[in-house]
Amino acid sequence: MRWRNEHDCRELRHGLGLDHFQGRTWRGRHHHVTLVTAAQAFLTLRRLDPKAHTPTCPSARSSISSRTF
């Protein structure tokens, strides 16, 4: 569970831009954090959805098929 928490925090900071906010107001910071959190929730639900379609981009398909599990 700790690994999942650390992974989510890293994804929020680096992947979704939580650490890129440069405003000075509490309202702006709150707005930024809310949008980043909503984006992370959307991506998590998308990742866990068994009916989600894989990307149709040929390069994405080739990288997915080349992985070994």
- State yes or no: pLDDT of 65 exceeds 70: no
**Percent helix, strand and coil across the chain, each rounded to 5?**
70, 0, 30
Of 26 and 69, more confident:
26
pLDDT band at 67 (very low <50, low <70, confident <90, very high): very low
Q: What is the pLDDT of residues 12-61, one digit of tens each?
A: 888 888 787 787 888 988 888 898 889 888 988 888 887 767 666 555 54
pTM as predicted: 0.58
Q: What confidence score (pLDDT) does residue 56 get?
A: 64
Q: In this structure, are residues 26 and 45 in contact, taking their beta carbons and an 8 Å threshold?
A: no
